[in-house]
Amino acid sequence: MRGVVIAIDGPAGAGKSTVSRRLAEALGYRYIDSGAMYRVIGVLAAECGIDLADSARLATLCDAVHIEFIERVGGVRTYVDGRDLSEAIRAPAAAQLASKVSAVPAVRERLVAQQRAMGATGAVVMEGRDIGTVVFPDAAVKVFLDASAAERARRRAHEMHGTATAADVAEMESEIAERDARDRTRAHSPLRPADDAVVVDTTGKSIEEVVASLRALIATRSVALASHK
């Protein structure tokens, strides 16, 4: 199915990033990480000493930067005005910064506009928290990935620390709960599945299993779309 947008949403630790990258690679699509864009704004705001409650300055920052996702050896890198911020935006603090700036309507409006521009030509797998509900409500395929709180905490702890000790998991579960509460209850673009999204529970499933199930879904949707032409 060429030329369409595949929207993949879900909370932290559900497997969105890895699944989306693998799926895009398998389909020959571009991969766009919308969450990385909010991380970029959060990290840059912290660098510049911008108060995260200062909507006007955050909006100006969004307008001033140019974010690109470029395929390199080893994976997709995130560049901002030619500067590689791939490592900086994956630091633990960046996730909390992203969650806070994403609750600012002016930031969401500007980044959503940029995301729509990036996906305007189709043939993209875009992941985030409001792709199917706000950014591309007419996406051909909408998926909401989820997992149990314990599974999500274990995955993120391993990703951040290289291990998943009981202490690391407990700390991560607390951070995830705080972020979930903020993301799900914000007034602007709250985290939720689109009404027509397919909800996939990834608890206990391998990346390969999840990607295979999504490819089967896409194949089915492709046939359905073709029959309506």
The alpha carbon dihedral of 108, 103, 147, 198 has a sign of: negative
User: Per residue in 79-114, pLDDT tens?
Assistant: 999 999 999 999 889 988 998 998 899 999 999 999
* pLDDT of 214: 96
Q: DSSP secondary-structure letter at 87?
A: T
Residue 179, both tokens = 């972020």
- Cβ–Cβ < 8 Å for 99, 182: yes
Write b or e for each residue in 65-103: b if 16 or more Cβ atoms lie within 10 A of its Cβ, otherwise e.
bebebeeeeeebbbbbeeeebbebbbeeebbbbbbbbbb
Q: Class assignment of domain 5-227?
A: alpha beta
- Helix or strand or coil: residue 10? coil
pLDDT band for position 150 (cuts 50, 70, 90): confident
> Which two tokens mark 63?
């307008």
CA separation for the pair 131, 112 (Å, rounded): 9
What is the percent of the chain where pLDDT is above 70? 93
Q: Let me know if 228 is exposed, middle or buried by CB neighbors in 10 A (0-12, 13-18, 19+).
A: exposed
Per-residue pLDDT tens over the stretch 186-227:
777 788 999 999 999 999 999 999 999 999 999 887 655 555
- pLDDT exceeds 70 at position 2: no
The model's pTM is 0.86
pLDDT number for residue 198: 96
Residue spans per domain, the chain: 5-227
Helix (H) or strand (E) holding 200: strand 198-201
Nearest Cα to Cα of residue 199 among 2, 1, 10, 6: 10
**pLDDT on residue 44:** 97
CA distance 23 to 145: 13
